[in-house]
């Protein structure tokens, strides 16, 4: 999607990367977009509003009570915007936006936005990793906010770490590709399985794995944004499920199998990101198991291989089947074996070290036509690459 004639509000936050918002505004202008800029009070300490005014030909807005606007400037800006880009999104702005604060021109515009919002966070790695920032990121993501970056690179204090603002051209790319996504999956129903399964030993203990659910939720959200009807079958996770998708919460592999089987007649494609436990306890005790001898032996029985079963029993080429292979070694080799053994259309192969619990990932798409090793990217970008492949097979 081109940005030509798109009306973009750029909201600038108060971080060192505010100087890169200048380049972002120029880049959006070069791509044919019309840009208006709103700034927080802190942003004005880093870059002068006149810089943006000169670049856009429109006064940069810094004040909710700007006397040049007889009406409500934030309402007018939000109505004008085809999209709002917050760059840099400071930890503070993310926190306040997650709460719905509206006490400056950037936040008030966000609070009455009815167009998509893209945030490009930039902050010290410790701020990015802070528990409060993680919570705010998850809240904003489930509210439908898109994110570009941050990326690994040199930070303001000279350290090299995760927290650097995505480059302006890359932010414009995400805007074009993800935010103004072509609704090219209208009429298609996609089932996504996500998260771990929990296999109960007794009422208080279970066997599980470290799957966070992030990859599956990213696929579900991206498919929704591209117009698909999405059914998300998810094991227990600690992150909010994406809005606007039909969600079926399950616990064990057997429950996941049942939920998928009942949705199956409706679906055109299945993306199995769930980390389904291979085994479950032979018996789940009704009462808590008491401590006994020095060692304990657990008897496990095999869980159904949901993906292989779908591959074996599907009629013709429907539904399109995508599996994931997360391994610690020979990732692509195992991916190819899975593709053949389980009779699926595509395997997304990645290493355990780059997958679990992170927002970014690196994968190889293993298909019948060959392998495509992808560069590091966000899970949303990977989700869109997978959806492109599904679209080609529908
Ligand atoms: C020199 C300097 C650099 C800063 N850089 C950042 C930054 O990169 N990211 C961030 O989240 N906060 C940064 N801060 C802190 C923010 O400026 C502060 O939280 C401010 O309240 C943000 O306001 P705003 O989000 O309303 O723009 C920086 C502060 C100073 C003094």
Q: What is the dihedral of CA 284, 287, 293, 298, to 10 degrees?
A: 0
Q: Is 40 in the pocket of ligand 1 (CB under 6 A)?
A: yes
pTM: 0.63
Q: All domains of the chain, ordered by start, with CATH?
A: 7-179 (3.40.50.1950), 189-393 (3.40.50.10300)
Q: What is the pLDDT of residues 267-300, one digit of tens each?
A: 999 999 999 999 999 999 999 999 989 999 999 9
Q: What's the pLDDT at 1?
A: 65
Closest residue to atom 17 of ligand 1, CA basis: 14
Of the candidates 130, 37, 34, which has an alpha carbon nearest to the alpha carbon of residue 85?
37
Closest residue to atom 13 of ligand 1, CA basis: 15
- Tell me how far the alpha carbon of residue 19 lies from the centroid of ligand 1, in angstroms: 13
Q: Is 116 in the pocket of ligand 1 (CB under 6 A)?
A: no
Residue 187 three-state SS: coil
Q: What's the pLDDT at 356?
A: 59
- Tell me how far the alpha carbon of residue 162 lies from the centroid of ligand 1, in angstroms: 16
**Both tokens assigned to 113:** 């936005």
The secondary structure of 316-369, three-state, reads: CCECEEEEEEEECCCHHHHHHHHHHHCCCCEEEEEEHHHHCCCCEECCEEEECC
Task: Say how far apart CA 106 and CA 18 lie, in whole Å.
Answer: 14
Q: What's the pLDDT at 385?
A: 92
Rg (CA), the chain: 23
Of the candidates 35, 123, 126, 139, which has an alpha carbon nearest to the alpha carbon of residue 77?
35
Closest residue to atom 9 of ligand 1, CA basis: 123
Q: What's the pLDDT at 354?
A: 61
- Measured from the Cα of 104, ligand 1's closest atom is 26
Name the pairing type of β-strands 83-89 and 117-121: parallel
Of the candidates 174, 185, 182, which has an alpha carbon nearest to the alpha carbon of residue 230?
185
Name the pairing type of β-strands 279-281 and 300-302: antiparallel
Q: Residue 97: is it exposed, middle or buried by C-beta count within 10 angstroms (0-12/13-18/19+)?
A: buried
Closest residue to atom 15 of ligand 1, CA basis: 15
Q: What's the pLDDT at 361?
A: 83
Identify whether 209 is a catalytic site residue: yes
Q: What's the pLDDT at 358?
A: 63
In the numeric block, the tokens 């934030």 are attached to 74
- Tell me how far the alpha carbon of residue 90 lies from the centroid of ligand 1, in angstroms: 6
- What does residue 191 show for φ and ψ, rounded to 5 degrees? -100, 130
| 16, 90, 106: residue to mutate for ligand 1 pocket, most atoms within 8 A of CB | 90
Task: Say how far apart CA 339 and CA 337 lie, in whole Å.
Answer: 5
> Of the listed 92, 114, 136, 209, which one is catalytic?
209
- Find the angle CA(76)-CA(88)-CA(384) to the nearest 5 degrees: 90
Q: Is 311 in the pocket of ligand 1 (CB under 6 A)?
A: no
Closest residue to atom 30 of ligand 1, CA basis: 15
Q: What's the pLDDT at 359?
A: 65
Q: Report, in this order, helix, strand and coil percent for the chain, each rounded to 5.
A: 35, 25, 40
Q: Is 13 in the pocket of ligand 1 (CB under 6 A)?
A: yes
| 11, 12, 15: residue to mutate for ligand 1 pocket, most atoms within 8 A of CB | 15
Q: Is 9 in the pocket of ligand 1 (CB under 6 A)?
A: no
Q: What's the pLDDT at 392?
A: 94
| 21, 42, 63: residue to mutate for ligand 1 pocket, most atoms within 8 A of CB | 42
Q: What is the pLDDT of residues 158-172, one digit of tens each?
A: 788 889 999 999 999
**Both tokens assigned to 91:** 């930890």
Q: Is 121 in the pocket of ligand 1 (CB under 6 A)?
A: no
Angstrom CA distances, 197 to 1, 39, 194, 288, stand at 38, 45, 9, 20
Q: Is 85 in the pocket of ligand 1 (CB under 6 A)?
A: no
Q: Is 122 in the pocket of ligand 1 (CB under 6 A)?
A: yes
DSSP H or E stretch at residue 201: strand 199-202
**Both tokens assigned to 265:** 């007649």
- Measured from the Cα of 12, ligand 1's closest atom is 27
| 10, 21, 49, 92: residue to mutate for ligand 1 pocket, most atoms within 8 A of CB | 92
What residues in the chain have per-residue pLDDT under 70? Answer: 1, 353-359
Q: Is 15 in the pocket of ligand 1 (CB under 6 A)?
A: yes
- Tell me how far the alpha carbon of residue 43 lies from the centroid of ligand 1, in angstroms: 8
- Tell me how far the alpha carbon of residue 100 lies from the centroid of ligand 1, in angstroms: 19
């Amino acid at each position: 999607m081109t940005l030509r004639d798109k009306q973009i509000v750029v909201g600038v936050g108060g971080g060192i990367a505010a100087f890169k918002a200048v380049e972002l505004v120029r880049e959006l202008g070069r791509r044919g977009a019309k840009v208006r800029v709103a700034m927080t009070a802190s942003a004005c300490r880093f870059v002068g509003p006149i810089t943006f005014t000169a670049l856009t030909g429109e006064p940069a807005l810094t004040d909710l009570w700007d006397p040049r606007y007889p009406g409500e400037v934030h309402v007018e800006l939000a109505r004008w915007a085809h999209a709002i880009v917050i760059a840099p999104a400071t930890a503070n702005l993310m926190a306040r936006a997650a709460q719905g604060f509206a006490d400056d021109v950037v936040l008030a515009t966000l609070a009455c936005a009815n167009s998509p919002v893209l945030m490009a966070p930039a902050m010290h790695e410790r701020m990015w990793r802070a528990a409060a920032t993680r919570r705010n990121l998850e809240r904003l993501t489930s509210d439908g906010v898109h994110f570009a970056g941050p990326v690994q690179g040199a930070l303001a204090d000279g350290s090299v770490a995760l927290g650097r603002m995505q480059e302006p051209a890359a932010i414009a790319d995400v805007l074009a590709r993800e935010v103004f996504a072509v609704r090219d999956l209208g009429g298609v129903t996609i089932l996504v399985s996500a998260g771990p399964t929990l296999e109960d030993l007794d009422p208080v203990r279970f066997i599980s794995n470290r799957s966070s659910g992030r990859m599956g939720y990213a696929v579900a959200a991206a498919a929704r944004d591209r117009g698909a009807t999405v059914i998300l079958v998810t094991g227990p996770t600690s992150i909010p499920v994406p809005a606007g998708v039909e969600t079926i919460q399950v616990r064990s592999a057997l429950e996941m199998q049942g939920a998928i089987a009942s949705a199956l007649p409706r679906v055109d494609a299945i993306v199995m990101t769930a980390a389904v436990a291979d085994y479950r306890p032979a018996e789940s005790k009704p009462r808590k198991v008491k401590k006994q001898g020095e060692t304990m032996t657990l008897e496990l029985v095999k869980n159904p291989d949901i993906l292989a079963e779908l591959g074996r029993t599907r009629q013709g080429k429907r539904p399109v089947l995508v599996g994931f292979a997360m391994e610690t070694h020979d990732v692509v080799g195992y991916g190819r074996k899975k593709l053949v053994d389980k009779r699926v259309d595509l395997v997304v192969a990645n290493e355990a070290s780059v997958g679990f619990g992170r927002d970014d990932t690196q994968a190889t798409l293993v298909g019948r036509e060959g392998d495509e090793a992808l560069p590091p990217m966000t899970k949303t970008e990977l989700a869109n690459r997978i959806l492109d492949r599904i679209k080609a097979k529908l």
